[in-house]
Each structure stands twice: as C-alpha cells, then as structure tokens.
Chains A and B, each alone.
Chain A
Amino acid sequence: MSTPMTAMIEIVNAEKTFTMHLQGGVRLPVVHGVSFQVNAGECIVLSGPSGAGKSSILKMMFGNYRCDGGRIGIRHDGALIDLAKAEPREILNVRRSTIGYVSQFLRAVPRVPTIDVVAEPLIATGSPRDKACEQAGQLLHRLNIPERLWALPPSTFSGGEQQRVNIAHGFISNHPILLLDEPTASLDAKNRDVVVGLIDEKKRAGVAMVAIVHDDEIRHLIADRIVDVTTFAAAA
C-alpha cells in the first residue's frame, strides 16, 4: 500500500490575528507558526480544545480567512500555489477544481432542490447534468435521504438531514483536497458509519484530507496523523 508521497498541502509558519475595531481595537492572536504538510491519500485530524484555532486554520486553508503571515501552499493543476497571496480569481479556481470544504452547516440558496444542490459541484466542473444527478442520487441514497425528498429544497429538512445533504455536496466532487469541519457532528451511528466509509474511499482515491472531529471514536477511525493545534497557540 505504498503510494508516492505527493505533498498536496504545505503550510509554513502561517499566522492569524483578529483585530476587533469595534471593541477598541483589541487584538486577538489566534495561531502562529502553523506548519504541517498533508500528502495525497492521507487524513490529518486537527486536535485541541475549542477556541484553539482549528476552524480558523481550516478556513485559512480554504481562503475564507486571510492569512497574516506565512504560506499556505496548495497543489493546484500540478503546481504549488500560495493561497495566502492568491488573487480572488485564483482562489475561486482552486475551490472549483482542487479544494472541497464540508462545513457543519449548509448554506444553500433558497428554492433549489436537494438533488441539484448535491449535483452542482459536478456540473460546475463540466459533468453532464443527467450524469451528475445520477451520482447525486446514489450519494443521497447512501446517506439515507429518501428519494421523495430529493425534489425539495434542503432548507425544509431537519438538522441531521441538512448535514447529510451537505456531506453529499462535499463528497460528490473529485477534488484532490477535502477539508472537513465536524462532518459527523449531528449524525446518528448508522450515518456516521457511512461518512467514515466515504472518507476511506477518498483516501484510497488519493485525496488529501484535513478534518476537525470531536468524537474520539471517529478520530481513531479516520486519522492517519494528528496535528496538535495547541502547539500553534499564539501568545496573547
């Protein structure tokens, strides 16, 4: 089972501080000296207590939070690009074809049917609509979303159902990098197992993943390596 070590993510000395101008300019250092590497087919789990900066690191890796220093190297189209310095257009390209993000909450556009929400990332990268919808259906089926709900917008669903739609949306694409922010938070045991299975398949397909999971059991099942975020704690 030896795959060639391809670094998909190379973070070097990344740092983040929030300056709260509405609170008299209070500076909140979140993390500094964040350095780690993730290879293809590997799942890294970020660990540390809440408030340690796990989500902030994930958001910096998605280009959602800006980086105040250091480098966020992402392998995109065969070259390493620094997301910390990339233009908005480049970040959007990276998100379209390289990095997928599964957040805890679904931010869906009103009125769009569930099946289309899930199929959308495939259509955006050029798959024909019917094929994308077929794959979306298979994933929804696996995640136990009954077919009678597929034509409805997910905003009408329960929290757990919305999260599963979100997972289907995140896992459907063929992105070589996936960021997972508590993907199993409000799921029952049966659906948690499905997600663990999906993560396993992604590993075998060579996808590099970085995850935040609080459940020890899940962490044990998916983590190839654990990165302790408290070592990046910024001096307050």
Chain B
Amino acid sequence: MAETRDAKHDQPLLVAEGLGKTYGRLAACRDISFALYAGEVLAIVGESGSGKSTLLQLLSAQLTPTAGRVSYRMRDGVLRDLASLGEAERRFLFRTDWGFVHQDPAQGLRMAVSAGANVGERLMAVGWNHYGRIRRTASSWLERVEIDTARIDDAPRTYSGGMRQRLQIARNLVTEPRLVFMDEPTGGLDVSVQARLLDLMRNLVSELGLAAIVVTHDLAVARLLSHRVMVMKGGQVIETGLTDQVLDDPHEPYTQLLVSSILPP
C-alpha cells in the first residue's frame, strides 16, 4: 500500500522543461526546468525585472513560451503539454483546477457585483445551478476567509484592501483547485493586514493540500508560505532549494545580497 501511495506522490503535478521566453533579442526567461508536486508550495523570488512574473504567466498558460514546455497532470492522471490542450480543456483548468490570485484584487474580482456573486460565479461556471446551495457555499467560504457574512450582498468596491484580497482567495478556492498561482498576493497591503492574510493562506494551503506557485519579492512571504524557493535574476534561476536552506545558507552572491537586505524584525 505504501508503494502505491509513494508512486502517486512521485508523479509531479506540473513540469517545466527548458522553458524560455524572448521578446526580440531580450530574454525575459531562460532555460527554466523544475517539477512541482501535489501539496507543494514553491516561491519564486527576485527583484522586479528578474523575469518572475513572465515565468508565472508561462506556467499558467497565459503566455506562450518561445522555448521548452510546461506539462500538467490532468485529473485523469495523464501529463499533458499545455500547448497541446484544446479550448475546452484550457477552460476547465482556468475555471476549476487552477486558481490565480492577482496582486491587485480588482483584476481577479468583479468589483461591481456582490461578494456572494463573485464566489458563486466560479461555481456556476462549473455547472452549479441551485441558488440556495451556491449561496450557502459562498457564505461558508466568506467565513473561512474571515469576512463577515453580513457583507455577502455588498460589492467588493466597498471592501478594504485586505478584505478584497481575502475575497479573491475565496473566489479562487471555492472550486477546490489543485494548483493556485499567486502573483505578489500581499503586495500593496499594510503590514498588519499582510500578516493576517499570510496566516490565512498558510492554513488554507495546508488544510486543502494545495500546490501553489507564489511570486513574491518579499522573502518573509516566501519563508512563511513556501516549502521550496527559486531565486531569479536576469531571467534565469540562479539558486534553488528548500526555503529555509536557501534563506539561512544562501550560496549565490545575489541571494546573499537579497537575504542580507532584510531588516531584522
């Protein structure tokens, strides 16, 4: 029994092979290869311009690579090249199996419709049609992300920044995705709000056994959320490993610079 379990765990959920993206002569990402397993949280760190956001877009099929490929294990257990997917399969990924948390909640939410509808919309997209059930599920998700359910009929434009971000997370997780992409999820929030959000994300990720790829320039976010980290510079991965290993014993000059630039708490 242990063998079958191990075999299952030994199959990566997402695989990047020799991934690259060039714009004319500019290489935004070069030769990136790694495997992500179920339940694993990978942080991609680096300064702006290091290529981390481009990489996230390549991994989540929002950009087409100019070299290499990204493969994803679909729910039937087959590893498929994202570039070979049909439109229906891509839609399935975006609507159900994947989540995408944007830095700016306005990009991931519909600001003018109610919070309940924001969460319920993802459920309707996968075929839910019982109003009462959708509302109950939306309401329980608002509770899980610590939003007062009395605010379910209010539009997110009336919410604070922290609440919007938590709503965006609820909207993403309601369909029980297996993989969530996050782009600077705590960027632009007050420090106290960040801590609450990080704590919440950490609990949700471990409770749901989610795999996640988190792009951040904040090493504290990487330390708190991720198991593994990839450090990017100039479009390339320059150092990778277990998060505490890379942050406590950085080898590359650039990683040492990043780590030494953190103000002590």
Contact = CB atoms under 8 A, between A and B. Distances in A.
Interface of A: 18-22, 59, 63-66, 88-89, 91-92, 109-112
A112 B203 CA distance: 10
Contacts, number: 47
Given A88-B227, A89-B40, A64 B248 contact: yes
B8 to A, nearest CB: 13
B239 to A, nearest CB: 11
B2 to A, nearest CB: 9
B245 A65 contact: yes
B249 A21 contact: no
Interface of chain B, main secondary structure: helix
Nearest to B37: A89
A110 B195 contact: yes
Interface stretch (B97-105, B182-190, B251-259): B251-259
Nearest to B249: A65
B27 interface: no
B245 A92 contact: no
8 contacts: A20-B256, A21-B253, A21-B257, A22-B257, A65-B249, A88-B227, A91-B245, A112-B199
Nearest to A110: B195
B241 interface: yes
A92 B245 CA distance: 11
A65 B248 contact: yes
Nearest to A87: B242
B228 A111 contact: no
Interface string B21-60: 0000000000000000100100000000000000000000
A88 B242 contact: yes
Interface string B220-250: 0000100110000000000001101100110
A88 B228 contact: yes
* Size bin of chain B's contact surface: 20 to 34
Contacts of A63: 242, 245
Nearest to B202: A109
A71 B260 CA distance: 29
Top 10 nearest A-B pairs (CB, nearest first) are: A21-B253, A88-B242, A65-B249, A88-B228, A110-B195, A21-B256, A111-B199, A64-B244, A66-B249, A22-B256
Given A21-B252, A89-B37, 9 more contacts: A21-B253, A22-B253, A59-B248, A64-B245, A91-B245, A92-B242, A111-B195, A111-B199, A112-B199
B120 to A, nearest CB: 29
A66 B260 contact: no
B80 interface: no
Contact of A66 (B40, B199, B202, B251): B251
B136 interface: no
A105 B227 CA distance: 20
B241 A88 contact: yes
B199 A109 contact: yes
Contacts of A20: 256
Nearest to B40: A89
A63 B248 CA distance: 11
B103 to A, nearest CB: 22
A93 to B, nearest CB: 9
Given A88-B228, A92-B227, A64 B195 contact: no
